[in-house]
Amino acid sequence: MKVIDFHTHPYLSEQEFLNFYPECFEPSPEQLKEDIGRAGIGHIAGSVLNKRSYTAEEGFSYIKECNDKALELKKLLGDFYTPGFHIHPHFVSESIAEIERMHRHDIRLIGELVPYMHGWSDYSCAGLHTILEAAEQYGMTVSFHTMKDEQAEMTKMIEAHPRLTFVAAHPNEKELFLLHLERLKKYDNFFLDLSGTGIFRYGLTAYGVKKAGSEKFVFGTDYPICNPRMYVQAILQEPVSDADRENILYRNAGRLLASAAVSGERPVEGSAE
């Protein structure tokens, strides 16, 4: 069975290797592809995150450095990897320029956005709204970290941009997962990736499929933070149909990534190229 991992954080070196026990590995793109391949995963998507702490003084150059590394990884990994890239609401014009730059490289995936790592925390802030308006023009898909105290703000963001596809990262524990399910049922442009906290709770995936349908979930691992094989096996073990499993493991992510590429073919008339 094919598997697309919608949520990874690939790395060029130890500086980007977000593993809790890096002493056990020799981080490299070659290791990444071998690790993921041994888990049965044939394609990955996601952004590069830097272990060096973000500082306001460094500003957008820190963000751009992560994006440059994603482009470098794309050259090394080819069709195995769909890059995600970062934007920052404190740097609106720079972020819009980055959207345009990535569009020229045929990249349509923003995120995973991880506000707490990059010095911002409000999904309803004006700067982000302006950036997402620009992203709409390029048919982007937005992956964003689930912020426990930002539930209303996340909903407002999804509602305000119906032309964008949003994918929340991480089911989390039951209280937050149930809130995600309500959004999945209400908003056609909202999906949930099953990476990180939550999927180890047996029955979570089956319950989500029962309540919202398997078409609303994409598979993710949060590699290299989490063990990729455990996440593949977790989906295989869930009491859902083979068709539901296929939707989650590769069909839905394939549709989202392909849809972003098609809808982002050209900016709308009058927008910058």
d(C-alpha 58, C-alpha 196), whole Å: 29
Average pLDDT over residues 155-177: 96
Q: How far is CA 138 from the centre of its chain?
A: 17
More confident site: 272 or 88: 88
What CATH number did the domain enclosing 259 receive? 3.20.20.140
**Over 70: is that where the pLDDT of 264 sits?**
no
The predicted model gives 108-130 an average pLDDT of 93
Using 50, 70 and 90 to split pLDDT, how confident is the model at 168? Answer: very high
pTM above 0.85, yes or no: yes
Answer yes or no: are the C-beta atoms of 54 and 90 closer than 8 Å: no
Exposure on the CB side of residue 64, measured as CA atoms within 13 A: 13
pLDDT in the model for residue 261:
54
Whether the pLDDT of residue 50 is over 80: the answer is yes
Structural domain includes residue 273 = no
Which among 78, 118, 83, 128 is positioned nearest to 104, based on CA atoms? 83
Instruction: Give 5's strand partners.
Output: 44
Which of 76-80, 106-110, 118-122 is predicted with the least confidence, judged by mean pLDDT? 118-122
CA 265-191-126 angle, to 5 degrees, is 70
**Number of domains forming the structure of the chain:** 1
pLDDT number for residue 260: 56
DSSP 16: G
The answer to whether position 80 is within a domain reads: yes
Distance CA 90, CA 61 (A): 12
The larger pLDDT score, comparing residue 55 to residue 265, is at 55
Q: 120 pLDDT exceeds 60?
A: yes
Dig out the tokens for 146 from the structure.
Answer: 């689930």
Domain that holds residue 35: 4-263
Report yes or no on 269 lying in a domain: no
Given a contact cutoff of 8 angstroms between Cβ atoms, the answer to whether 83 and 22 are in contact is: no
Q: What is the mean pLDDT of residues 99-127?
A: 93
The reply to whether 272 falls in a domain is no
Residue 133 domain flag: yes
Is residue 268, in this structure, part of any structural domain at all? Answer: no
Mean pLDDT, range 94-107, rounded to an integer: 97
What is the spatial distance between Cα 217 and Cα 190, in angstroms, rounded to a whole number? 9
Rounded Cα distance, 76 and 48, in Å: 14
> Is 114 inside any structural domain?
yes
Q: To which H or E segment does residue 145 belong?
A: strand 141-145
Structural Rg of the chain based on CA atoms: 17
Considering the domain boundaries, does residue 8 fall inside one? Answer: yes
The pLDDT of residue 269 is above 50: no
Report the pLDDT averaged over residues 70-86. 97
